[in-house]
Amino acid sequence: MNAVVFDRFGEPDQVLSVRDVPIPEPGPGEVRVRMIASPVNPSDLLVVRGLYGVLPKLPATPGFEGVGVVDKVGGGLLGWLVKGKRVTVINGAGGNWAEYVVIPAKQARPVKADIPDEQVASFFVNPVTVLAMVRKILKVPQGQWLLQTAAGSELGKMVIRLAKHDGIKTINVVRRRDAMDELKTLGGDAVISTEDGPIEDQVRKIVGGDGVRYALDPVGGDTGTGAFNSLASEGRLIVYGTLTGEPIRIDSRRMIAGKRVVEGFWLGYWMKERSIPESLRIFHEVGNLIRANVLSTEVGKKFPITQIIDAVHEAERPGRKGKVLLDLTKQS
Ligand SMILES: NC(=O)c1ccc[n+]([C@@H]2O[C@H](COP(=O)([O-])OP(=O)(O)OC[C@H]3O[C@@H](n4cnc5c(N)ncnc54)[C@H](OP(=O)(O)O)[C@@H]3O)[C@@H](O)[C@H]2O)c1
C-alpha cells in the first residue's frame, strides 16, 4: 500500500515521501481501517517538524484523524461490532496518511450515514476541541463576550458558529484585514485585525470596562500577549496552539492583581480524563452540531496521497479557504 513516511524531523516538503509499505495486520483488540480521507491539520505538521508535545518513533506516518471503513478485526468484541462500518479514525499515535491503518478498536467510532465522509474525516480534532473549550471548560454564559485569535482558522469559524448558536458574543482577531468581512458574514459580532493596532486597545473600545472574561489563543507571541492583556479581572485565557512558535509575555502584576488565569488545552490529554459514557455523550453532541452546520468543517482542496507535498503547501498557504483533505482512495 502507499503511505506517507518521514524518517527524520524537518520541513514537510523536504522530509515527507510516499512509499510502498506492507499492509499492516491488526493484533488483539485492534482493527484495520481502509482509509477514505484524512485532513492536513496544523498538529500533523508540528509532528513532522518535531515540534509537537509527543513525537513518534521514526520512521513514522503522520495523520491524527480521518474517515475509513473497518476491513479486518484482530480479535475482541469491540472490533467485531465495528467490522464493515464507516468510522471516524481517531489515531493519537498518528499514521492515518496511508491507505490502511491499524488502531485500537475503541478508537474506530462509527458515524451515522447522514453525515458525509468529508465531515467524518474532521469529526474529532477541531469540533471536540471547540466544544470542550467553549461549553465544558470556560462554560461561557449567554450574552458574554468571548475573544478569540486566529479566528479565520477552521476551528475559529466553528467557535463563531457555536457562539452564535449558544447566544455568546465573539470578538474575532485576524492577521489580515481582508479576512474580516468573511467572519462578519459568518456571524462574528466584532472582527478586528492586528494590522490596526494593539488588540487590547481595540477590544476595550468594543466591550468597554476592563476587558473580556473569556479568551482563546492558538497564536502566541504578540497576538497571544494581546489576548492576555485584553482580559478583565477574573478573566480566563485558554492557550491551545503555537502558530507563531513564540511565547506569550505575561505581566505578573496584571495577572496577580486581577486574578487572571492562563491555562493550556490539549485535546488528547483532555479526552484521556473523560469517562467512556462522557466521551460517548460528547460524540453524540458533536454529531448533532455537525448536522446543524455548527461544528461542520468547510472542505477545501483534495489531493491524492501521491501529491502530499502540494497538499502540505496548500494547507499552509496564508488565506487558504477550507480544510485540505488527502483523498486516500485515489493514487493520482
Ligand atoms: N490544543 C489542541 O488540542 C488543539 C486541537 C485542535 C486544533 N488546535 C490548534 O488550533 C489551531 C487552528 O487549527 P485549524 O485546523 O483550524 O487551522 P487552519 O484551518 O489550518 O487555520 C490556521 C489559521 O491560523 C492562522 N495563522 C497561521 N499562522 C499564523 C500566525 N503566525 N499568526 C497568526 N495567525 C496565523 C491562519 O491565518 P490566515 O487565514 O491569515 O492564513 C489560519 O486562519 C492550530 O494552531 C491547531 O494546532 C489545537
Tell me, what's the pLDDT at 319? 87
With a CB cutoff of 8 Å and minimum separation 6, the contacts of 281 are: none
User: Domain 2-122+298-327 is classified in which CATH homologous superfamily?
Assistant: Medium-chain alcohol dehydrogenases, catalytic domain (3.90.180.10)
Nearest-CA residue for atom 22 of ligand 1: 153
Test site for ligand 1: of 47, 54, 153, 195, most ligand atoms within 8 A of the Cβ:
153
- H-assigned helices in the chain: 12-15, 42-48, 77-82, 117-121, 125-131, 154-166, 180-186, 199-207, 221-229, 252-257, 267-272, 276-291, 308-315
Q: What is the pLDDT along the chain (332 residues), one digit of tens a residue?
A: 999 999 999 999 999 999 999 999 999 999 999 999 999 999 999 999 999 989 999 999 999 999 999 999 999 999 999 999 999 999 999 999 999 999 999 999 999 999 999 999 999 999 999 999 999 999 999 999 999 999 999 999 999 999 999 999 999 999 999 999 999 999 999 999 999 999 999 999 999 889 999 999 999 999 999 999 999 999 999 999 999 999 999 999 999 999 999 999 999 999 999 998 999 999 999 999 999 999 999 999 999 999 999 999 999 999 899 999 999 997 76
Is ligand 1 within 6 A of the CB of residue 129? yes
Give the chain's radius of gyration (CA, Å).
20
Q: Does pTM surpass 0.85?
A: yes
DSSP symbol at 259: T
Dig out the grid coordinates for 179 from the structure.
Answer: 479576512
Is ligand 1 within 6 A of the CB of residue 267? yes
Burial category of 8 from C-beta neighbours within 10 Å (exposed 0-12, middle 13-18, buried 19 and up): exposed
Dig out the grid coordinates for 247 from the structure.
Answer: 511565547
Is ligand 1 within 6 A of the CB of residue 40? no
Residue with cell 492536513: 40
Is ligand 1 within 6 A of the CB of residue 270? no
Report strand pairing: 67-73 vs 108-110.
unpaired
Instruction: Output the CA 233–ligand 1 centroid distance in Å.
Output: 27
Ligand 1 closest atom vs CA 269: 3
Q: Does 126-268 match 2-122+298-327 at the fold level?
A: no
Instruction: Output the CA 84–ligand 1 centroid distance in Å.
Output: 34
Is ligand 1 within 6 A of the CB of residue 172? no
* Second CATH level (architecture) for the domain 126-268: 3-Layer(aba) Sandwich (3.40)
Torsion, CA 130, CA 188, CA 38, CA 224, rounded to 10 = -60
Instruction: Output the CA 218–ligand 1 centroid distance in Å.
Output: 6
Given a contact cutoff of 8 angstroms between Cβ atoms, the answer to whether 142 and 168 are in contact is yes
Is ligand 1 within 6 A of the CB of residue 119? no
Is ligand 1 within 6 A of the CB of residue 266? yes
**Which sequence spans correspond to the domains of the chain?**
2-122+298-327, 126-268
Is ligand 1 within 6 A of the CB of residue 264? no
Dig out the grid coordinates for 230 from the structure.
Answer: 485584553
Tell me, what's the pLDDT at 332? 65
Is ligand 1 within 6 A of the CB of residue 153? yes
Tell me, what's the pLDDT at 330? 76
Tell me, what's the pLDDT at 240? 98
Integer Cα distance of 254 and 218 in angstroms: 21
Ligand 1 closest atom vs CA 151: 43
